[in-house]
Structure 1
């Protein structure tokens, strides 16, 4: 019997990690072969939707969260409450990794990627500063860094989806919610950004930066802080200074979006129970998630995975796991109508970029955004 799994991982480490999962499952299930099929990320949703139209498809799909609505609407995946509710370990997973459409569960993220506040400990020591827990504390330290000839913070401001993800902690910290959108919190956030650029804390060039460039700036020792993710752990090892990571210094209203791929059984699988068992034993198990931590650099979603010495003994990993539990929010945001997710996230990211670049006053930018955003959130 062959179990097919569609995915879009293509690095050597990722491929090796998947094979480790397959070898373990096959060893426990004689006669079963796990077959992985690579589908380029930009083709995954279309290929799965097309297959569903012909009443075909894989046993397991590993897909991007933004494709959940399209896959659900096409019938490529089905609601999984009946199975998930019977999974003994379901309570180990935070609400933030549940992917829902119209209130029904269509996928779970076995692992996540997320943002934290990277800091240059050597520079903090030189400045006589502590790791900040509030935005005013961070701004005070950034002022000292600029006075010492360094940048305050690096982050992405590239138009589009990445900037919505980057901006979410900050504008939700100011009180913005997709469920009750108001201009004032966005204007406050844009004012903060433009204050940072005016004072030299943040480079206006960040308006064109993806996630890679700002971290290169940080790793080179040019900035005291970087708002960036767990996937930079490997890159951070190249730094010649002592560094660490902490939760972003946002208010209790703010949250960090949990990225990472979603898993579910294919609607047209001929081996649904076996496919469910595969996910429970691999992507949704402690051992499986720790395997993916090694090969993908992603953070386990399970709360009990934090008890592993692999994580608890590592200050960076343990901090990211703590952020998942305390600040993690579902991505995409459940308040955004599923069919408009890409449009909304692109729009919000574009205006974050405009604010960084100084393309308008905070109030004008916020009002322009609301004029376009509110109708999309009411559909």
Structure 2
């Protein structure tokens, strides 16, 4: 059984007093906003169950009798800045609309046993599900008679038959443009890497890659399609090393499902003496801050995760007002950034 996280655990991790942690979690006026932010982020990352995101417009001690909306997610997702920003976007709209946002974390054992969060049966008006979960568990959530919005979703769920709203960033066309750019600048041996079974967004990026390859009538080595299930969705360095070290030969370019995968690929290439982009080009997706330390710019796709949260919350509020309106699949626009990591093979002298 997993250990229950306490305020003492949070204070020990941050190196601050338990009293400060308690005050920060209760939006005490004597605690700086920066400290509140750090405490809340750490509490969420550790899976602390009693986090209530404060509305900074409310004076300390205000009694909140607002109706509640649940934000449901797997706790490990919120270690990343991406999902923290999504959650803040949701909270901003929820709190400014007179609702209280309640967090609910799904554990792996809940997913395997199909045990739904208790909070969803506790007077919640509706809920938002952040991140992809297994098909069976997603179907259990869909069957609940509550308004709901999914931010991303399992790829095995049919969007045409989905009785719920879902919000994405645009994926397919952005990845199509990156792959077409690589082809137009001299690459014909291109690999794609990403666990396309883990979420709909990754699947759509794979489809964008395939469309560009099909348009160019390229024949790609099937061994360069690294798309099978992985222990960590190819988000861990160990997964990348295992996959790439088994290749008989490396491609001239890697199209990675996101920036974190791209950074792991670049690290591996550096360790085996390959240069980016002189020897091998690499692209990503999501424009994460860690890519700023490469020493060159990474070809990637920028999106606004805060607005992803905002739009998802707005979608749920619309659903609450008009439950019989047709369900919608919403895709927010993105922007492709062509960086130095995919410089032309011709300009690199290859």
When the two structures are superposed, what TM-score results if normalisation uses the length of structure 2?
A: 0.40
Structure with more of its chain in helix, by fraction: 1
When the two structures are superposed, what TM-score results if normalisation uses the length of structure 1?
A: 0.38
Higher relative CO (Cα under 8 Å, sequence separation at least 6) belongs to: 1
